Structure 1
Amino acid sequence: MRRLLFWLLVALPFALHATPQTCLIVGVPDGDTLKARCGQPGSYEEIKVRLNGIDAPEKRQAFGERAKQAMSDLVYMKDAELDCRKIDRYGRSVCRVMVPAQSAPNGPKTLDAGLAMVTVGVAWWYRAYAKEQTPQERGQYEYAETEARAKRVGLWRDAEPVPPWEWRKAQRDH
C-alpha cells in the first residue's frame, strides 16, 4: 500500500502536465481567461482557461476592457494550442496558449498569447507564479514587461498603474 501511494505521488505531477491539445477559443471573459472547446465534433468538452504567467486588469479596472478586447482580437475563434500545467482553485486549466501568428512569411508560426499581452502593455507578468514557467519563459516575460514599461505602452501610460492583485485585494477590503 505504501509503495502504491508513493508511486501515485510521484506520477501525479506528470499526469497534470499533459501533452498540449488544440482547442477552439469560443469565449474571452476577460484579459487573462478564455473558454475553449476541445475534442472532436459530437464530443466537445468546454474548458475554462487561465493564461499562465500573466494577470490582466479586471474588467471594472482601468484598462480592463482594453485587455479583454486585446485578448479577443488575439485568440477569439482561433484554434489554439493549450499547454496546460495545472488546475487552479477555481477549476480553471492554467495554460500557456499559443495561437497562429499573423506575421511575415519568415516570422514565427505561432505566438504566445500571454507574452503578447505583456508586450503590448495590457497585462502584467505575474511574478508570484513565475516558478510555474520555464526559465526561458520567465526571461521573455520579464523582458517584455520591462520594455513595455520603458516605452510607456498600454497601461504603463498611467503614472501609477494598479496591479490587478492589489485592485482585487482593495475590493475585498471594502
Structure 2
Amino acid sequence: MKRILSILAAALTFGTAHAQPDQYRVVGVSDGDTIKVLSGDRQQVKCRLFAIDAPESNQPYGQRSKQSLSDLVYNKTVHVQVVDRDHYGRSVCRVFVNGVDVNKAQLERGFAWHYRKFDNDPAYIRAENAAKRERLGLWADANPTPPWAFRHSSRLRNFQ
C-alpha cells in the first residue's frame, strides 16, 4: 500500500494540467544519473534515473558520466516515466529522448553501473556487459569502484 501511495504521489508531482503530462524540458544535469526537468506549468522536478548508479562527481569518471548524460538530454524535451520515489524525495524515472532509453544509454556508454538491487532487465544487463567487454568509459579501468562502495568508504573516512 505504501508503494502504491508513493507512486501516486510521484505521478501527482508531475501534474496533469498539460496535454502531454509526461513531456518535460531538461533544465539541469546534477550528475551522471540525476536530472532536473521543467514541466509545461514551470514546475521543476528532480529525477533520479531508474536502475543505474553513476560515479560520484568527485570519483573517477564522475564528470565524464555527467557530461555524457548532459550530451544526451540537456535542454531537450524528454519523455518521463515515474517508477518510484527515493528516500531523498526524488522521483525515480525512466527517461527517453527521441525514443532512446537514456538510462540504458548511460550503461551502453560505460558511464554507469546497472543497479541490479532494484532491477533485473536483461537489456540493461546486456548493455553493461557489452560496455565492460569493450572497456568503454569507466570500464577502461582495471577495477573501477562502484559508487555505492565509494560512498560507503567516504562516509567511513568522514566518520574517523
Query: TM tier, shorter chain?
Result: 0.7 to 0.9
RMSD: 2.0
Q: Relative to 1, partners in 2 of residues 1:172 and 1:111: Cα closer, same or farther, differing over 3 Å?
A: same
SS at match of 1:127: coil
- In our comparison, the structure showing a higher alpha carbon Rg is 1
Offset at residue 87 of structure 1 (A):
1.2
Q: Relative to 1, partners in 2 of residues 1:14 and 1:169: Cα closer, same or farther, differing over 3 Å?
A: closer
Residue 168 of structure 1 corresponds to 151
* Per-residue Cα deviation, 1:23-73 (whole angstroms, up to 9, x for no partner): 00000010000010012xxx3110000000100000100000000000000
The answer as to whether partners of 1:16 and 1:86 remain within 8 angstroms in 2 is: no
Q: Relative to 1, partners in 2 of residues 1:149 and 1:15: Cα closer, same or farther, differing over 3 Å?
A: same
Identical amino acids, percent of aligned pairs: 44
Residue 38 of structure 1 corresponds to 39
For 2:6 and 2:89, the matched residues in 1 are separated by 17
Residue 56 of structure 2 corresponds to 58
Offset at residue 13 of structure 1 (A):
6.4
For 2:25 and 2:6, the matched residues in 1 are separated by 26
Q: Relative to 1, partners in 2 of residues 1:121 and 1:44: Cα closer, same or farther, differing over 3 Å?
A: same
For 2:145 and 2:8, the matched residues in 1 are separated by 36
The answer as to whether partners of 2:96 and 2:102 remain within 8 angstroms in 1 is: yes
For 1:99 and 1:68, the matched residues in 2 are separated by 16
SS at match of 1:25: strand
Offset at residue 17 of structure 1 (A):
7.2
SS at match of 2:129: helix
Which runs of structure 2 are paired with 1:1-174 in the superposition (5 Å)? 12=5, 15=8, 18=11, 21-39=22-40, 43-100=41-98, 110-130=99-119, 138-174=121-157
Residue 104 of structure 1 corresponds to none
**TM-score with structure 1 length normalisation?**
0.80
Q: Relative to 1, partners in 2 of residues 1:22 and 1:147: Cα closer, same or farther, differing over 3 Å?
A: same
Offset at residue 15 of structure 1 (A):
2.7
SS at match of 2:111: coil
Residue 106 of structure 1 corresponds to none
* Per-residue Cα deviation, 1:109-166 (whole angstroms, up to 9, x for no partner): x1011100000101111111116xxxxxx11100001111111111111000000000
> Any gaps of 5 or more consecutive residues in structure 2?
none
For 1:14 and 1:59, the matched residues in 2 are separated by 29
For 1:122 and 1:10, the matched residues in 2 are separated by 29
For 2:132 and 2:31, the matched residues in 1 are separated by 22
For 2:134 and 2:89, the matched residues in 1 are separated by 36
> Any gaps of 5 or more consecutive residues in structure 1?
1-7, 101-109, 132-137
